[in-house]
Structure formats: C-alpha cells, structure tokens
Amino acid sequence: MEVIITEQILTTDGIPLKESLKKAERNNKIRAFFLVFPLLIFIIITFVVPIGDMMLRSVDDSQINTVYEKTFEEYKKWDKSKDELPPESVYKALFLEIAYGDKLQLGRALTRMNYSKSGWKSLIKKTQRGIKKIVKSGEEPLSYKQTLIDINENWADPTFWYAMGQMINKQTSIYYWNAIDRTFDQDQNVVMQNEDRRVYVSTWIKTFKVSIYVTFFCLLLGFPVAHLLASLPLRYSNILMIFVLLPFWTSLLVRTTAWIVMLQQNGVINDVLVWLGILSDDGRIQMVYNQTGTIIAMTQILLPFMILPLYSVMKVIPKSHMRAAQNLGAKPTIAFIRVYLPQTIPGMSAGGLLVFVLAIGYFITPELVGGKDGQLIGHWIAYHLKTTLNWGLCSALGAILLGIMLILYWLYNKIVGIDNIKLG
C-alpha cells in the first residue's frame, strides 16, 4: 500500500500558511472597517436618524394622549349611534384634566388640537378661565356636562367631539391622509377635506409637472451643448466648460434674484421684446411670480447637472462610429439617431434622474420666483415646519416625497437599469 504524506506549508514563524492567510485577511477587513467607521457614524447621525425621526413623527400622536388620558378612555366608551353628545363621564374627565392638569402640557396640546379643527385653542382657554372660577369657589358642579356647555356653547357642538376622535390613538395615519386632502369623519372613515382646505393634491401635481418640464427643457438645451463640448478640441472645450461651471461659483440667491429682475414686466427680457417690436408696450408678458418663471429659473439653475453627465458620456463615444455608419450608407440624421443617440442614454439617464430629483424638492427658487402660482410642495413643508409647527403633517409630506422618489427609483431600475447610469 502506498501512503501519501502531505506536509503543511509553514511561514517563517512556523504558522501554517493557510491560517496565516486567514488571519491577514481578517486583519485587513478589521482595518477597512475602522477606516470607514467614522463615515458610517456620520451617515447614521446626519441621514438615517433624521429620516427615522421624521417617519416616527409622521404617525406619532402620543403627546395629546398623555394630556387627556382619562378623557380619551371615557370617550372610547361613547356610543355615537345613540347619543349625539358624549355622556357625563366624558365631560367630567375633561373638566378634571383641564382643572388639575399640567398647564404647560395643556398649552402644548392646544396646538395639536387646532390641527384637527380650528377653534380648539380659544375654546380650551375660555374653558380654563371658567373652570378656574368654579374651582376657587370650592363648589362641585351638579352636572359637568351642563357646566362646560354653560362656559362655552361649543361643548354642545358635536363637530368638536368628532374632531377629538382623530386624536384618540397614539399612532395615527391622519397626517398622511391630510397630506392628500383627506380626513376622518365622525365614524373614523376617510373622507375628502372641505373644498377650501384641498391644497395638497394640486400642489403635488404641480410639483411633478414642473419637475418634468424642467427635466425636459434641461435635456433639450443641455444635449446640444454637451455634444458641442465633446466635439470641439480640448483647448476650446475647456474654455467653454468654464461657462458651464460658472453658475456653481455664483450664489443661488444672486442667480434667483437676477431672474426676478429679468423676468418682470419692466425687466430686461420684456424691454428687449418691446424694442424689437415683438411686443407692444401694453402687451408685456408676466413671466415672474408664476409657474412660467419657476420653470425658466429652475431650468437655468439645474442645466449644468444635465450637461456634465451628458458630456462625460459623449466624450468617450468614438467618432469613428458615425463615420462608419455613413460609409455604410446611412444618412447623417439616421446615423445620429440609430448609432450615436443610443450610446448617450447612460448620460441622459444620469442627468435626467439628477435634475428630476433636485427639481422635485426645490424650495428657494420656486419660493422667490414662483409666487403663489409657482409654489411647490417644498413650500408647504417649510410652512408647517416654521409657521404652524405642525411637524406631523410636515413629516408626512416629507415621507410621502421620499416614498415617491424610492418608487420612481425602483421603476427606473426596472425599466432602464441603474447600472446604465454613468456620471463619467
């Protein structure tokens, strides 16, 4: 019988080579992890945590529950099909919580209550003053229900109690429904908002429409510029590239203000059109503080984001392809459409996606140039963040915007393929 003896290959330290390689590979992975660890922490703190907090705020309604905990417990027992107004136990719980509750928490809850129905703030404040007098007198009301109604007749208005039903659960979807012009009725069914409060659906549609227009016009204007830059000799294309990059060296606020000056009725563009005889002095066009001004200004500002990806792709397309197609009998137009254009799809994809994503969330330019007609969804997010302090609705609008972008990204990956995107 022949016996084969295999000896392990050892390193100079006497360690088997296989174990030594595994140890070295493990050390390299640990070293690589510690190198990217600061970046990972930075991304978690500045990106993941804020988005997570936004998602939680969009469904969180726990603060109001801590203020009117007993009232809500009694409210859940109310049979709305039998009684138009809540029973005595609900009024009593509300009376006691307003009388002996934390004043600071009660004040904070007023803002949330006003989101459901306007008038809550004045109702609660007037009720607080009335209850304070009763508590000082030391007399216990014979009927808490009648006492509250005597303090303010709105406590006999069922719509206020139905609005309170929107705040019962600690986790709620009301902000998401509000973000698409819906709300809850008295039975917690989803219904349309009153006509005077339907503003978000039209703004969403306007936002997508403006973003598509801006992307289209950027592609229409950016394609020939990128083609010219890619076709010219390097010394000339470098000079022209400076003009493409020049907007990045100018403040966004300055460029936006310049467009306001140029687009107004007594601005540069209207003056030139009147001087050329195209327009009469009385027929000047209103191109600012409307949707038209928003599209014009955003197109100019976002145009470099379309040109640069297109240029980087066109630069590496061999010029011999077009000559070969023409030598084989194709006309220049056919050769361009059938040979050259398909090779630029990665650049068009990258530029289109980049411009669309930037346009859909744009705020400063539409806010300054667009006026009331050109405001996009970013206006309402900023409005609720700074003015109404309705962070729940603000977070819901942001979460919907994020969700829409993820869906569009998924569809783009399915149709075009994310691997086809090239920025260089």
Question: Per residue in 173-199, pLDDT tens?
Answer: 889 999 999 888 777 788 888 888 889
Amino acid at 218: C
Q: How far apart are CA 117 and CA 123, in angstroms?
A: 11
Task: Record the tokens describing residue 307, joined without a space.
Answer: 């040109």
pLDDT of residue 299: 94
Token digits of residue 397: 């609008």
Q: For residue 231, give both structure tokens.
A: 């076709």
At 287, the pLDDT band (50, 70, 90 cuts) reads confident
Dihedral, CA atoms, 95, 101, 103, 104, nearest 10 degrees?
-130
β-pair partners for 10:
16
What is the C-alpha separation between 302 and 248, in angstroms, rounded?
A: 10
Residue 260, CA atoms < 13 Å, CB-side half-sphere: 15
- Measured distance CA(350)–CA(354) in Å, rounded: 6
Contact 206, 376 (CB under 8 A): yes
105-135 confidence digits (pLDDT tens): 888 888 888 888 888 888 999 999 999 888 8
Q: How far apart are CA 157 and CA 163, in angstroms?
A: 11
Place of tokens 């030598």: 327
Is residue 309 within 8 A of residue 318, CB to CB? The reply is no
Instruction: Read off the DSSP letter of residue 389.
Output: -
Which tens digit of pLDDT belongs to each residue from 234-244? 888 888 888 88
> Fold for domain 200-420?
MetI-like fold (1.10.3720)
* Contact present, 392 and 61 (Cβ < 8 Å): yes
Instruction: Give per-residue pLDDT as tens, 257-272.
Output: 889 888 888 888 888 8
Give the single-character DSSP code of 191. E
